[in-house]
Amino acid sequence: MSPQKEQPYIGRFAPSPSGPLHFGSLVAALGSYLDARCNNGQWLMRMEDIDPPREKPGAADDILRTLEAFGFEWDGEVLYQSSRQAVYLETIYRLMADDHAYDCGCSRREVAEAELEGIEGTRYPGTCRTGAQADRENLAVRLHTDHPTPIAFKDRICGHVRQVVEDDIGDFIIRRSDGLFAYQLAAVVDDAYQGINQVVRGADLLISTPRQILLQHFLDLPTPTYAHLPLVPDEEGRKLSKQFAALPVSRERPLPALLEAYKFLGQPAFSQSPGSLQEFWEQATACWNSDRVPCNSRHTPLSEQG
Ligand code: GLU
């Protein structure tokens, strides 16, 4: 039997256009890019523009121009999630038809009053699982998170993660009552659509990954390999000195920011400091070692992690 051919690496960067590219997203862009390039992989670009109230006009273009100025080169066209609404809706219908999702008419206040704790705040008490309040207006759609086994996966950076989504998170919203589709749903649908098999992103999303894997199970979609990069702390986090935290991700001075992001990802200093962007990319791609990336997730513990 001939040895099985390895799947070609397909990675991505998926910013939300809620503002200009900041240092934290530069770290995610750099880690996902270097990991893809050093594995001869593709690096696709997806603009997660599905939440207009949180978006800034012009931010999507601004992010793309900044990435270009930094020397990032994505493969193919940018996928805009705003153009994918019909597919998300179809997916919701499918989940509902298969009894994996249901309409929910509960208000935020009602959910809060149930005082059920989850690791992301209040957990939904399941009131509408049986259609109790589905006659109300402006219904949201929730995923029925009941699943026979815990969700378990091995993150390339953070190790084993195991979660019972029903206990830790509860039935979560996949379509909001204002009609907008939730990030979890859109990300899963589009990771599959784009053929992504390697997801490299910030550790703030480690907590979302079991939910995404659960959705993949319900939709019969493949589960990519995940790697969650350390989070750049916010100002109160004080893990980076003020000087670095404030480092502007300015199109005019890409090299210092790239060097700082590279160092933040645990990569050793170059023997000779790159004098140009081209030198940086050559050296960084040649030296990238994902095993050196530290695990730091603010969202531990999940139900179990090790
Ligand atoms: N759009 C998300 C963000 O900007 C990233 C989503 C993902 O990588 O799955 O934080």
Instruction: Find out whether the beta carbon of 211 lies less than 6 Å from any atom of ligand 1.
Output: no
Ligand 1: distance of its center to the CA of 138 in Å? 27
First-last CA distance in the chain: 36
Ligand 1: distance of its center to the CA of 60 in Å? 13
pLDDT for residue 30 is more than 60? yes
Instruction: Find out whether the beta carbon of 223 lies less than 6 Å from any atom of ligand 1.
Output: no
Most confident residue range from 83-97, 109-123, 229-243, 251-265: 83-97
> What mean pLDDT do residues 270-289 have?
95
CA separation, residue 39 to residues 7, 10, 45, 224 (Å): 11, 9, 17, 15
Q: What per-residue confidence (pLDDT) applies to 175?
A: 97
Whole-number Å distance between alpha carbons of 74 and 76: 7
Whole-number Å distance between alpha carbons of 27 and 265: 7
Q: What angle do CA 15, 19, 24 make, to 5 degrees?
A: 60
Q: What per-residue confidence (pLDDT) applies to 263?
A: 95
For residue range 50-61, list pLDDT tens digits in order. 999 999 999 999
**256 and 70 Cβ atoms separated by less than 8 Å:** no
pLDDT for residue 243 is more than 90? no
Instruction: Give the amino acid at 261.
Output: A
CA separation, residue 246 to residues 62, 65, 260, 294 (Å): 19, 21, 12, 21
Protein residue with least CA distance to atom 4, ligand 1: 15
Strands 140-143 and 173-175: antiparallel
Ligand 1: distance of its center to the CA of 219 in Å? 21
Q: Where are the alpha helices (DSSP H) in 76-121?
A: 85-97, 108-113
Atom from ligand 1 closest to the CA of residue 191: 9
For residue range 137-153, list pLDDT tens digits in order. 889 999 999 988 999 99
Instruction: Find out whether the beta carbon of 196 lies less than 6 Å from any atom of ligand 1.
Output: no
Q: What per-residue confidence (pLDDT) applies to 114?
A: 77
For residue range 165-219, list pLDDT tens digits in order. 999 999 999 999 999 999 999 999 999 999 999 999 999 899 999 999 999 999 9
**pTM of the predicted model, to two decimals?**
0.92
Residues 6+ apart with CB under 8 A from 170: 116, 118, 123, 124, 125, 126, 145
Instruction: Find out whether the beta carbon of 11 lies less than 6 Å from any atom of ligand 1.
Output: no
* CATH class of the structural domain 10-305: alpha beta
- The whole-chain average pLDDT of the chain stands at 89
Instruction: Find out whether the beta carbon of 212 lies less than 6 Å from any atom of ligand 1.
Output: no
Ligand 1: distance of its center to the CA of 273 in Å? 31
* Better-scored residue on pLDDT, 140 or 125: 140
